[in-house]
Amino acid sequence: MAPTYDVVIVGAGPGGLMAARTAGAAGLRVALLERKKDIPKIHRSCGGVLNLNEPTYDQIVTLDEDNHLIQCTTMGWTIHYDGPFQNVYGFHIYSPGGRRLEFGNFAELRKNPKQNRMGASISKEQLLRQLLTEAENHGVAVFPNTNVCSVKKEGTAVVVECENGEEYAGAFVIAADGINSRLARVLKFNKEREFYGTSRDTSLTIQGTDCPDPDGFLFMITPRGIFSMIPLAEAGCYHIYASTMRRDEKPPELLRYFVTEAPTFSAWYRNSTILKHRTACVVSLMSPIEHPFRDNVLFIGDACWRREISNVGAMCSGYKAATVIADALNRGKTDEEGIREYLEWYAKHYYGPFGKRKQGGRDFTQYLTPDDIDYLASLPEEKFPQTLDIFKVVNHIGKVYGELMTRIYEERPDTMERMIQVRENMEEDMKKRISWGFKIV
């Protein structure tokens, strides 16, 4: 079949929409297929935080609120954004008794928000709407309510097959269908990927909190697991998340416990109003795809990742994929050779630094007592450097606690004994998580 389009893009999240807008702007004939009826509507959990001002996969994104622009200064893309936002300054991790590891002193940082924020919670719906409008203005043919089932190579074309019987052919396909990508499964990538278990997340939104520094990405450790909270775009509103990989736990029940019963933290929500909007997601965690190209289908964003490549990570990969495909088509190179630059870029900035990292465990709350965790949280004498990069957080914690081991052993041998158990049981705990999960092959 002869290609009808230059590129067919499957999935209209931040990755697919950025790819569509960029390919359309480059003059390509583009079809964008999305299973949702109302493309910008958010059903699946996402905090809507954009990482700003520190490198995300080596790219820097900034928010210029005076000129209503979100800009990637390193790649050169810009999106008009005049919606609401709240600043996010970094991570704080709370122990059960309320001690915290602070990645940034928010009280100091909020004195100069424009310079000091590491992120902003924005309206993802408005961001997606803007990208969609621009894609349409560039002539992209948009097909909502179109569920893609399969993809196959036919001669020089790739043909995408949909549930409604329609077919769309392109010289290239960009698979931007998100985590647990159907196209990754169809093209048999999942057989080669490691599986780490299935996580179920639920969030609720609240207005008002008595949390002392709510303008960050906050993790709260409780006897019943770890919860998180982040600002929403609207002033004074927040998302609270519960997440579990256990089959016997119900995320909505965990959320109820957290806001009404959890020691230390439920007090933050006594005066909160719980808003109607709730989101949820189920994610089967698999190792990222090392070589995200097969049969002229190029995978971007979450479609080739473990989970949460991030909105910035997805948009940058969409932009790069569309740019490289436009160049390949200009050169008449409609094969892997044509898009090699994308694969090298992905290897350098995504897979190389982050792809091989093992999925860590979270089961330390099953071993350490609340008192152990309070004690451990009291040890670091200085605040940690400000960041909104979870990989940096893990590295800093590893380094600081590595240096504190002798002291912990001397002061609290029982705590040390339980810390050793966490480590010794890591593999067994991972096996359990895998057995509770649903592998998608």
Ligand X SMILES: Cc1cc2nc3c(=O)[nH]c(=O)nc-3n(C[C@H](O)[C@H](O)[C@H](O)COP(=O)(O)OP(=O)(O)OC[C@H]3O[C@@H](n4cnc5c(N)ncnc54)[C@H](O)[C@@H]3O)c2cc1C
Identify which of residues 120 and 262 has a Cβ nearer to ligand X in the complex. 120
Which two three-digit tokens encode residue 210? Answer: 């008595």
**Residue pointed to by tokens 């609340």:** 370
User: Degrees (nearest 5) of the Cα angle 100, 105, 110?
Assistant: 130
Residues of span 174-203 touching ligand X by CB under 6 A: 176-179, 182, 201
437 binds ligand X (CB under 6 A): no
Contact call for residues 380 and 101 (beta carbons, < 8 A): yes
Residues of span 36-55 touching ligand X by CB under 6 A: 36, 45-49
170 binds ligand X (CB under 6 A): no
Identify which of residues 21 and 99 has a Cβ nearer to ligand X in the complex. 21
169 binds ligand X (CB under 6 A): no
Minimum CB separation from ligand X for residue 409, in Å? 37
Identify which of residues 293 and 375 has a Cβ nearer to ligand X in the complex. 293
* Chosen residue from 16, 90, 292, 361 binding ligand X by CB under 6 A: 16
* Chosen residue from 116, 190, 284, 310 binding ligand X by CB under 6 A: 310
Region from 32-40, 66-74, 93-101, 286-294 binding ligand X, contact rule CB under 6 A: 32-40
Residues of span 228-287 touching ligand X by CB under 6 A: 241, 281
Identify which of residues 290 and 308 has a Cβ nearer to ligand X in the complex. 308
90 binds ligand X (CB under 6 A): no
Minimum CB separation from ligand X for residue 182, in Å? 4
309 binds ligand X (CB under 6 A): yes
Identify which of residues 131 and 376 has a Cβ nearer to ligand X in the complex. 131
Number of residues engaging ligand X in binding (CB under 6 A): 35
324 binds ligand X (CB under 6 A): no
Identify which of residues 26 and 304 has a Cβ nearer to ligand X in the complex. 304
What is the Rg, in whole angstroms, of the alpha carbon atoms belonging to the chain?
22
Identify which of residues 23 and 368 has a Cβ nearer to ligand X in the complex. 23
* Chosen residue from 302, 363, 374, 429 binding ligand X by CB under 6 A: 302
* Chosen residue from 21, 29, 35, 92 binding ligand X by CB under 6 A: 35
Identify which of residues 13 and 216 has a Cβ nearer to ligand X in the complex. 13
How many Cα atoms are found within 13 Å in the side-chain-facing hemisphere of 254?
Answer: 25
Minimum CB separation from ligand X for residue 162, in Å? 8
104 binds ligand X (CB under 6 A): no
216 binds ligand X (CB under 6 A): no
Identify which of residues 178 and 361 has a Cβ nearer to ligand X in the complex. 178
3 binds ligand X (CB under 6 A): no
**Residue pointed to by tokens 């090392």:** 290
33 binds ligand X (CB under 6 A): yes
Q: What distance in Å separates the CA atoms of residue 188 and residue 415, rounded to the nearest whole number?
A: 45
* Chosen residue from 12, 52, 135, 255 binding ligand X by CB under 6 A: 12
Region from 187-195, 306-314, 332-340, 419-427 binding ligand X, contact rule CB under 6 A: 306-314
- The pattern of x and - marking residues 113 through 152 that bind ligand X according to CB under 6 A reads ----------------------------------xx----
The phi and psi torsions of 389 (rounded to 5 degrees) equal -110, 110
> What are the residues facing 242 on neighbouring strands?
202, 227
Q: What distance in Å separates the CA atoms of residue 239 and residue 218, rounded to the nearest whole number?
A: 10
Which two three-digit tokens encode residue 50? Answer: 């954009």
Identify which of residues 71 and 415 has a Cβ nearer to ligand X in the complex. 71
Q: What distance in Å separates the CA atoms of residue 243 and residue 56, rounded to the nearest whole number?
A: 24
Contact call for residues 251 and 243 (beta carbons, < 8 A): yes
Distances (CA, A) of 411 to 35, 375, 404: 57, 10, 11
Identify which of residues 176 and 368 has a Cβ nearer to ligand X in the complex. 176
- Residues making contact with ligand X (CB under 6 A): 10-16, 33-36, 45-49, 147-148, 176-179, 182, 201, 241, 281, 301-303, 308-312, 314
